Amino acid sequence: MTTQSSPLHILFFPFLAHGHLLPMADVARVFALRGVKCTFLTTPANVTCIEPTFHRTNKFIESKNDTHLVPISVSLISFPSAEVGLPDGLENASFASHPEMRHKFFQAFMLLEKPFEQVLKEINPDTFVSDTFFTWSADVSARTGIPRLAFNGMGLVARSAQEKLHQILESLPDEADKFVVPGLPHQLEMHRGQFMFPTKNKEMLTMFKVSNEMDARSYGEIVNSFLELEADYAAHWREVVGRKAWLIGPVVLCNEELIEKSNRGGNTSIGTEELLQWLDSKRSGSVVYICFGSIEHSNISLEQFMNIAIALEESDRDFIWVVKSSSLEGYNDWLEGFEQKMHKEKRNLIIKGWAPQLLILNHPAVGVFVTHCGWNSTLEAITAGVPMITWPMGGDQFFNEKLIVEMLQVGAAIGVKEGPYLDSRQLIEAETIKNVIESVVGVGVESEAMRKRAKDLKEKAKAAVQEGGSSYSDLGNLIEELIARRNTVL
């Protein structure tokens, strides 16, 4: 039975993809280290993704011998793979590589409503945090009386712009190729091809619209960001949109130890010792790191891969390139040939599959990150103080590019104008890629200023999560508010 002296109990339920599981695991961790009892709910196949984080956290909590700290517990919910025709064990969107499979995955997680409600009644937490994609969880909150905190996984620039876009998309003239998103603190001029319009991917468009409506019905939102990064948009969200949000990030900074940076998210194809030896042999700021996330890799054509490879070779700079499996015709043969060539030169690394991104970005040898601008990758680069070359592909990524390049000025755009929702994507030529890389890692007043801004932002991010910092205080305020609410309704 809950009493006023009992620790606050929060259940966390992330969307089933690496880019959602990992940050919410870090969110649960920062709550647990502030004395909150945390239960993390996921499916059996996704436990291995988050288990190392919780194992280390719980060992630390137990070593403190502090009665105010409670180890994090993991509860399981079955995933209805068979009901929708998915292979047994396919419980993570990162591995749903084909459109048909992604459609089935979408159907499956929509079937989790009743099982989730049953779990919620059994565990009976004071509050639950659910991913914005679980649109039905707002209805579960209303039925059970347990308040819901939404976790969107975006920053507030993207969150504010997307909320505004939902209001104007259908009224936008068909001939409007470029337009300014209205009513925001900055002028965000966007291209039509960067978004999911009603004529393209209606299923995803509907889900985003409904999720925004359901989040508005919730108690508030947890945002993995910090005030100094998005101050204008924190004020906009509170004063113009009129919704509660607590900025408690960057939560990735709770991963301080070498083992946490090297093992976060799963096993890799390269050993930590081998990777560090290679990085240690390189000059400070000389390495180009390329990674397009866990899902976006499928949006790149074989010709584009080849142009990236040509640019990297001609730039004559050391690089680490993270590559994923692909169904593109000719991809595997091309990749095998490129790997053999790079192996002979011994100046570059190609990592297949999952990469220890935190470990790589935080090494002093890395000078630039070529990224798809996913919010997790953006924050990881910011907290490491590494400038970015932005190559957005969809979702919130084009908004994040605006933050990186125009507002913060800690990156350079590769020049992508189209998202993956058109029938074809523009090809970025090798010469362009090479020139943009050189503009960031080369010698010059502008590149030096960019690197300095990136380092300064890193220090601001660290200060935000330390005692007395903006995110540390916001987290404390949220915990106190939830305890006060719990005690009022007892």
pLDDT (tens digit, 9 = 90+) per residue, 23-47?
A: 999 999 999 999 999 999 999 999 9
Task: Round to whole Å and give the CA distance between 346 and 342.
Answer: 6
Q: Residue 354: which of 99, 98, 94, 57 has the closest Cα?
A: 94
Q: Among 298, 316, 376, 322, which residue's Cα sits nearest to residue 99?
A: 298
Query: 278 CB contacts (<8 Å, ≥6 apart)?
Result: 349
Query: What is the greatest pairwise CA distance in the chain?
Result: 69
pTM for the whole structure: 0.93
- The more confident residue out of 418 and 235 is 235
- The pLDDT assigned to 318 comes to 93
Distance CA 129, CA 172 (A): 34
Q: Please state, for a pLDDT cut of 70, what percent of the chain lies above it.
A: 92
Beta-strand pair 178-181/188-191? antiparallel
Provide the pLDDT for residue 202. 65
Q: What angle do CA 382, 256, 275 make, to 5 degrees?
A: 80
Q: Which CATH architecture has domain 9-253+464-489?
A: 3-Layer(aba) Sandwich (3.40)
Of the candidates 293, 296, 468, 470, which has an alpha carbon nearest to the alpha carbon of residue 379? Answer: 293
**Sign of the C-alpha dihedral computed for residues 399, 322, 265 and 278 taken in this order:** negative
Higher-confidence residue of 221 and 393: namely 221
Read off the pLDDT band of 198 (50, 70, 90). very low
Q: Residue 2 has what pLDDT?
A: 46
Confirm if 106 and 207 have CB atoms less than 8 A apart. yes
Domain with CATH 3.40.50.2000 in the chain: 9-253+464-489, 266-462
DSSP SS3 for 245: strand
Catalytic-residue membership of 18: no
What tokens does 205 get?
A: 């468009």
Percentages helix, strand, coil for the chain, rounded to the nearest 5?
A: 50, 15, 35
Q: Over range 155-179, report the average pLDDT.
A: 80
Range in 61-65, 142-146, 408-412, 468-472 the model is least confident about: 61-65
Q: What is the pLDDT of residue 1?
A: 38
pLDDT at 175: 60
pLDDT at 295: 67
Residue 153: Cβ-neighbour burial (10 angstroms; 0-12, 13-18, 19+) = buried
Please indicate whether residue 139 is annotated as part of the active site: no
Residues 234-270 have pLDDT tens digits of 999 999 999 999 999 999 999 888 878 877 777 777 8
Evaluate whether 129 touches 222 at the Cβ level (below 8 Å): yes
Q: Would you identify the CATH topology of the domain 266-462?
A: Rossmann fold (3.40.50)
Among 18, 26, 126, 131, which one carries the catalytic annotation? 131
Q: Which of 115, 156, 111 is nearest to 375 (CA)?
A: 156
pLDDT score, position 393:
86
How confident is the model over 73-91, as a mean pLDDT? 93
* Whether pLDDT at 88 is above 70: yes
Between CA 132 and CA 448 the distance in angstroms is 39
Which one of 9, 20, 236, 372 is the catalytic residue? 20
Nearest CA among 387, 366, 385, 384 for reference residue 285: 366
Q: At residue 119, does pLDDT exceed 70?
A: yes
Mean pLDDT of 148-166: 91
pLDDT at 279: 95
Across 385-408, average pLDDT: 94
Burial class (CB in 10 A: 0-12, 13-18, 19+), 363: buried
Q: Closest Cα to residue 11, out of 101, 121, 96, 98?
A: 121
pLDDT reading at 105 higher than 70:
yes
Residue 423 has pLDDT above 70, yes or no: no
